[in-house]
Structure 1
Amino acid sequence: MSSNTLKQAAEAARSKTSNMSKQGTETIETMAAVKTDFLHTPLMRAALPFINGGASGMVATTVIQPIDMIKVRLQLAGEGIATGPKPTPITVTREILAQGKVLDLYTGLSAGLLRQAVYTTARLGCFDTFMKRLAERAKENGTQVGFAERASAGLAAGGIAAFIGNPADLALIRMQSDGLKPLAERKNYKSVVDAITSIVKAEGVTGLWAGATPTVVRAMALNLGQLAFFSEAKAQLKTRSSWSPQTQTLAASGIAGFFASFLSLPFDFAKTRLQKQQRGPDGKLPYKSMADCFVKVARQEGLMRFYRGFGTYYVRIAPHA
């Protein structure tokens, strides 16, 4: 075999190897492009904020469910009495553990997860969608999205999501407060499905929206503090500090958690009382409405009762922020 023939064979082999390598690279790039294109399709771009919001809310709920349980028990303690024992998170925790077991702190977890799957998915998804539209409009007008617009987006997203998620929220409160009743009166709900079914049988479908007014107002106040203040705080920290993006996010979350807790706790308190209440032997409910609840609690228990357990509530809200 001549040297020319050997050279031609070697060049042909190199060419073949090079083509195979290019084809392999092109295949990998094509697969990556398909994946990227899928995530950037209009449908997925619209759905991702809802998916991320719901998933993050469910993870946060799994972590802080015991804190939420303690918060509810603090709000229901000493109802209608101005004086008497003043429970703390520690004493409430001891009481729950003394009556049962550690897993009792996770009572209502199924309802909490369903609530997040519905409520947080809707509120974060709606907020992100509203903010994107506001940003597009601001870009067209050569302006920037202001705090008032962020607040409006947060209020709207919170109100819409809270109304949709009220049945799961109601089931959560009923499950968490069931242990406070005498043994003969307890429902001993097995799951969120059992709780919702029981409520529908006893109070009708409309009964699932008991306490909807304070739930919606509470969500609007919460979102105003959580989403609007988080967005504003992060924007301010980005321009006024040299912190890393992760540190800015954590700091903004802490700030947003405080304002969200301060603005929403009184409404959360009223929501808990209204959703827990049941008709007495005379067929009447303890509270007629959110306003009636505020008036009676202020007269019988004092104004500061609305902020009982603020620290616990803040610890519950901050992870969600």
Structure 2
Amino acid sequence: MDLFLGGFSAVLAGIFTNPLEVVKIRMQLQGELQAKGNYQIHYRNIFHGAYTIGKNEGIFALQKGLVPALYFQFVINGLRLGIYDILNKSVLRNADGSVPQVKRLFAAAFTGTVGAIAASPFFLIKTQLQSQSSDNISVGTQHKHQNMTGAFRSIYSKYGIRGLWQGTSSSIPRIAIGSAVQLSTFEVALDFTQKTYKMDNRWLNVLAASFISGVVVAGFMNPFDLIATRFYNQEYNKQGKGITYKSVTDCAIKIWKKEGISGFYKGLVPHYFRIGPHTLLNLMFWDQLKYYYQKCEIFTVFKSDILISYNMYNLQ
């Protein structure tokens, strides 16, 4: 049941944070492999991006790709929590019951990778649907999918079952790096907020820690997240191989040469502002679902539980 509740709470959080993901995707694809100043800027910042999408495509366009995004949330977070819980109860623990930080880091990276591979088809569809826009503000490759079902059919008919896992190799470094950085920084940030501000409300402590650690997480993770977006959204040939990017390394080199170091940090702001709210909403929904399921006194989220759930749920 923990597996289901963990995945479902991430789904509920994803409904509220999906618009930020749409803006982030568009900003990451804007000016793809073009030097700064050589392309039209449709999305200047997070607020202008949301306004532009709403104005040209309607307010509901900010929820594009929501269905596959929620499936992605459920699959990846359910697997992370389930596998991590198994490892945490046996493999990770020393004889005295403690869990070394190094083991936590490797476990977070491993379980994140397993979840990312399993959920990759939904990430592929989500990215391609979120990047689709009206012609006057389009960025990146436009795949012209009608919906999630149509996208699955189109990709399967062109490339077969393997085509649904196009771009998966770009998710592995994204999740591995993000998990490791997130696990190590959130605990420090939580200690800092509790000792410095002494807030009685645990949700305020979690929110403050999320935004503090989010600076580091977004900084380290954004280049890998951007590469994943580009890799998943590119056009593929008949053999199912990327036309623009042959590999993750090839993608990184081309971005560096064409866009410079700043190219890796496109969409950084919406990425950062997605981390904090998503974490808090996720934990709140998880807490309440546990409460109603157990039908007893409110389930208390101790520091270790917050840390585990944060890292298992929030690298989308």
Separation (CA, whole Å) in 2 of partners of 1:279 and 1:270? 16
Correspondence 1:118 to 2:118: no
Distance 1:280 1:320, change over 3 A: same
Distance 1:124 1:315, change over 3 A: farther
Aligned ranges 1:126-145 → 2 under 5 Å: 126-133=83-90, 137-138=93-94, 140-141=95-96, 144-145=98-99
**If you compute each CA radius of gyration, which structure gives the higher value, 1 or 2?**
1
Separation (CA, whole Å) in 1 of partners of 2:135 and 2:157? 20
Separation (CA, whole Å) in 2 of partners of 1:265 and 1:110? 23
Deviation at 1:132, TM superposition (A): 3.3
Matched with 2:159 is 203
Correspondence 1:147 to 2:104: no
Aligned ranges 1:194-233 → 2 under 5 Å: 194-231=150-187, 233=189
Is the deviation greater in 161-170 or in 83-92? 83-92
Matched with 1:309 is 267
Aligned 8 A contact 2:234 2:243 in 1: yes
Matched with 1:159 is 113
Aligned 8 A contact 1:72 1:176 in 2: yes
Deviation at 1:166, TM superposition (A): 0.3
Correspondence 1:98 to 2:55: yes
Separation (CA, whole Å) in 2 of partners of 1:57 and 1:101? 26
Separation (CA, whole Å) in 2 of partners of 1:221 and 1:180? 34
Matched with 1:189 is 145
Separation (CA, whole Å) in 2 of partners of 1:275 and 1:291? 14
Separation (CA, whole Å) in 1 of partners of 2:13 and 2:171? 20
Separation (CA, whole Å) in 2 of partners of 1:314 and 1:236? 19
Unaligned 5+ runs, structure 1: 1-46
Matched with 1:36 is none
Deviation at 1:235, TM superposition (A): 6.0
Aligned 8 A contact 2:7 2:77 in 1: yes
Distance 1:231 1:148, change over 3 A: same
Matched with 2:4 is 51
The aligned amino acid for 1:75 is Q
The aligned amino acid for 1:179 is S
Deviations 1:191-212 (A, max 9, x none): 3222122111122211111111
- The alignment covers a number of residue pairs equal to 269
Matched with 1:289 is 247
Separation (CA, whole Å) in 1 of partners of 2:85 and 2:194? 19
Deviations 1:57-115 (A, max 9, x none): 11111001111000000000011211224532233223322322100111110011110
Is the deviation greater in 61-70 or in 90-99? 90-99
Deviations 1:96-150 (A, max 9, x none): 2232210011111001111011112112333333333366x33x336x3232222
Distance 1:237 1:177, change over 3 A: closer
Is the deviation greater in 232-241 or in 299-308? 232-241
Separation (CA, whole Å) in 1 of partners of 2:251 and 2:54? 30
Aligned 8 A contact 1:225 1:257 in 2: no
Deviation at 1:292, TM superposition (A): 0.5
Where relative contact order (Cα < 8 A, 6+ residues apart) is larger, the structure is 2
Aligned 8 A contact 1:159 1:216 in 2: yes
RMSD over aligned Cα atoms: 2.8
Deviations 1:176-224 (A, max 9, x none): 12226689x9654343222122111122211111111111211112222
Is the deviation greater in 221-230 or in 164-173? 221-230
- Relative to its length, the structure with more helix (as a share) is 1
Unaligned 5+ runs, structure 2: 280-316
Is the deviation greater in 272-281 or in 103-112? 272-281
Task: State which of 59, 71, 76 in structure 1 corresponds to 2:24.
Answer: 71
TM superposition score normalised by structure 2: 0.76
Task: State which of 202, 227, 242 in structure 2 corresponds to 1:270.
Answer: 227
Deviation at 1:236, TM superposition (A): 6.8
Correspondence 1:175 to 2:129: yes
TM superposition score normalised by structure 1: 0.75
Aligned 8 A contact 2:207 2:276 in 1: no
Aligned 8 A contact 1:147 1:232 in 2: no
